[in-house]
Structure 1
């Protein structure tokens, strides 16, 4: 039994080493622009003896407990596995043909089960053709080139969740064609162009529920374009793909970016996400952000907005039933410092203003969070604690003040 165990360990080690050799020789490290995750190390990989197939597996989990104290409600505790992900990637036949698969199993990932709707465990399922280090073309479902916090993996965040603005204004995942032109150089001006032409309905969503009003005029597509500028060159170990200056940049590093998305005849309140609308609507999103890192300090600022010509939709069979496109704008400001001991202090302030046309449907929101993290193995093994205060301002003049206290452990490979 010991001999078999040693043989298997040796086999996996050789497979992982072969993976490194092939990636080095072929100049293909799977650094794809839309990879929606941060990694420390390479995971567990196997390459076939003829080098025609490569398979790599990773996982990560986020376990959390939260104490909620919302105004006009009794306080309560909540414990859950917020995220449980399996990820597979590699190539088939030729390292220029890559695949990326990511599956989710946490309740917060797959959503509430509804009659007639698929249980959506697929987060990413995409095939890439990468003819050179600069160019990549993908077909399938993955993240659109939105804000930096949206594109970053949830496993690479400093706080347990993305901001309230990213949740409502983010463009997230979609199925279709994804393109990127990468021009990143160390210590020199760098830039990236990214684009996507997709279905506009979010990640692999389908429904055959007869109780849901089906929009007939829903044959529009979503068009996304983005430019990223790195005036001082690339960050250490692709540091613009994870939050916080955990690597303590020895020189100041900055990235600014701008993205635009037009979703024609969208069916959901936030384009790719949100509740179903009662009529199709065109909507436009503008997404701007900037990040800076130096010597343990990290700063991030983001602006997001969504507009629609007529955001209120109405059920043609029942005029009293209406739903609204989530329009308005929001701003996030995030500042942190990582001590040499790998403890980190972080503060985030978010302001969300909904458009006047939908004030009756959604409140304005201000949210402030303070966090304390301990990085044991970069973002792959960390302890996170945070306290958040939230103020909701309603159109009738009423306001609610909520807050929560949370502890989370993340582990992954």
Structure 2
């Protein structure tokens, strides 16, 4: 971090000196479909006088405090910087060749540092070739074309976190190749097709060489045309769509010989398993109203793996399915009320290890500068139903401030 900060300050100084340079975005709008990042403007930009390279600098942070009451435990609170990100993007030599780099520094992003494990500072490091407005090819580490809530930037969420189903069934970031065919039109039928071939082990994996790949495909259909300001990449109708907009999407992934309990995420399994994931999404926005629904599932044959040196030590693929339902309304005063209900059911073969869960969330958000600067309050209740018939209720109350450029 000490090395990054001087570079960041240097970039700020260069950007200030270059403010008289005219930055053209006609050929390079940086609409990178695998790396959505909600921003009100364009961050800080620097273009060389000969237009051979362009650099945009953005940052964002989330500061939060949470009061937690888990049944059977003493009440507690948690205060932390939940996310702290730096993003750099632009092009080199030609606007058709783009790059994007995103670094994370908050403990919740990086994770606990363990001996022999990589430090997860790198979130995205990807190179793009975009020959025209329809085709996009990329190579590197970034988000896969998965469920809608994961593809959204965490900075574009209405509530302070994604749902319990996203936490368990998402396919997240990975290293590999992607090809996207994009057909977005403002007022007529549109569709997008996105594909990926990746390692399947998640970001920053170097523990061992791979003998399997993950194959991912996604189709997005927009019957009434594209959303205003790429509204599929942020929650809520802050653009106040003048006409109803709808997106329907379906994604599938087969992760062959995966090594982790959730594919790209989770603990290491004792044996590799092949997993299949299905993700369906629907979004409707109109005049301040936004409704979203999602279905996610994961299956695997024989999901439980056993430590060969200790039969009591097991690791299992998290198999099951879940549904999310989310509804919100944005008042003209830029206050928004949000409600979300999620159900999660684990498959029978891991039922004794994980509970079925229902989650209820309500939230109030004040947008000061759209999603780039907002205040969020959230109350969430979890109902857990265990294999032996016992139940538990946990809840938390949270306040969060998000700011970025």
TM-score calculated relative to the size of structure 2: 0.95
Deviation at 1:10, TM superposition (A): 5.9
Contact preservation (8 Å) 1:120, 1:205: no
**What do residues 270-298 of structure 1 show as CA deviations (whole Å, max 9, x unaligned)?**
10001111100000000000000000000
Contact preservation (8 Å) 1:180, 1:195: yes
> What do you get for the CA RMSD once the two structures are aligned?
1.3
Distance, in Å, in 2 between the alignment partners of 1:370 and 1:345 is: 8
Distance, in Å, in 1 between the alignment partners of 2:120 and 2:62 is: 19
**What do residues 98-132 of structure 1 show as CA deviations (whole Å, max 9, x unaligned)?**
00000000111011111110111000000001111
Aligned to 1:111: 111
Of the candidates 245, 262, 266, which is equivalent to residue 274 of structure 1?
266
3-state SS in 1 of match to 2:117: coil
Distance, in Å, in 2 between the alignment partners of 1:235 and 1:36 is: 14
3-state SS in 1 of match to 2:228: coil
TM-aligned CA distance change 1:320 to 1:30, over 3 Å: same
**What do residues 229-275 of structure 1 show as CA deviations (whole Å, max 9, x unaligned)?**
00000111111110000111110000000000000000111100011
Contact preservation (8 Å) 1:36, 1:143: no
Distance, in Å, in 1 between the alignment partners of 2:330 and 2:301 is: 44
Aligned to 1:373: 365
Distance, in Å, in 2 between the alignment partners of 1:9 and 1:147 is: 36
TM-aligned CA distance change 1:249 to 1:283, over 3 Å: same
TM-aligned CA distance change 1:319 to 1:151, over 3 Å: same
2:322 matches 1:316 = no
Distance, in Å, in 1 between the alignment partners of 2:251 and 2:84 is: 29
Which stretch shows the higher mean deviation, 279-288 or 311-320? 311-320
Deviation at 1:178, TM superposition (A): 1.2
2:238 matches 1:246 = yes
**What do residues 172-216 of structure 1 show as CA deviations (whole Å, max 9, x unaligned)?**
000000110000001100000001000000011234xxxxxx8x9
**What do residues 142-186 of structure 1 show as CA deviations (whole Å, max 9, x unaligned)?**
000011111000000000110000010000000000110000001
2:384 matches 1:384 = no
Aligned to 2:4: none
Distance, in Å, in 2 between the alignment partners of 1:76 and 1:395 is: 27
**What do residues 71-96 of structure 1 show as CA deviations (whole Å, max 9, x unaligned)?**
00000011000000000000011111
Aligned to 2:63: 63
Of the candidates 372, 392, 405, which is equivalent to residue 397 of structure 2?
405
Deviation at 1:318, TM superposition (A): 2.9
3-state SS in 2 of match to 1:40: coil
Distance, in Å, in 2 between the alignment partners of 1:36 and 1:357 is: 36
Alignment: residue pair count: 393
2:251 matches 1:256 = no
Aligned to 1:36: 36
Distance, in Å, in 2 between the alignment partners of 1:399 and 1:8 is: 58
Aligned to 1:3: none
Contact preservation (8 Å) 2:15, 2:45: no
Distance, in Å, in 2 between the alignment partners of 1:342 and 1:386 is: 17
Aligned to 2:89: 89
Contact preservation (8 Å) 1:154, 1:161: yes
Aligned to 1:187: 187
Distance, in Å, in 2 between the alignment partners of 1:274 and 1:253 is: 36
Deviation at 1:8, TM superposition (A): 6.8
Aligned to 2:51: 51
Distance, in Å, in 2 between the alignment partners of 1:108 and 1:319 is: 32
Of the candidates 13, 18, 28, which is equivalent to residue 19 of structure 2?
13
Deviation at 1:11, TM superposition (A): 2.7
Deviation at 1:9, TM superposition (A): 7.3
Deviation at 1:33, TM superposition (A): 1.1
Distance, in Å, in 1 between the alignment partners of 2:197 and 2:204 is: 15
Alignment of 1:61-210 (within 5 A): 61-207=61-207
3-state SS in 2 of match to 1:14: coil
TM-score calculated relative to the size of structure 1: 0.93
